[in-house]
Homo-oligomer: A and B are copies of this chain.
């Protein structure tokens, strides 16, 4: 029987802790049909800008739309790849350089589905979710991040 999935919250206040990632991995040890996990982590870079270096990114989102959009992406990726599990977490608020702001985690019986699905999720999250990053420089100026 198909499980009906409902929108899940993907937002985390502030940075995503490595311990949260470890816990998420450990939670999957009871699913012994899984053969491979693929994980992508986005980390805030201290890019050089005019006048200073990035010291943090402040994330805001159109949350309702982002959650609906994330749900649709999730359903589409589940339909396309034979996945066992999929988890998406994105930070809101301030994330300092060196900290994790995005955590995408896919699991499947064989590695290829997990790897391909994870990559596709990352691309779609960056392109389709209404989330904005404002780069805060060490001189306290700021500028809106531009995704490439």
Contacts and interface: CB of A to CB of B under 8 A. Distances in A.
A148 B97 CA distance: 41
Interface residues of A, number: 39
Q: Tell me what chain A mostly uses at the interface: helix, strand, loop, or mixed.
A: mixed
A132 B19 CA distance: 31
Contacts of A98: 28-32, 34
Interface in A16-45: 18-19, 21-23, 25-26, 28-45
B42 A111 contact: yes
Contacts of A25: 18, 21, 41, 100
A112 to B, nearest CB: 9
A122 interface: yes
30 contacts: A18-B23, A18-B25, A21-B25, A25-B41, A25-B100, A28-B43, A29-B43, A29-B99, A30-B98, A32-B45, A32-B98, A33-B45, A33-B46, A34-B43, A34-B45, A34-B98, A35-B42, A35-B43, A36-B40, A36-B42, A37-B39, A37-B41, A37-B43, A38-B39, A39-B40, A40-B111, A43-B107, A45-B109, A115-B119, A115-B122
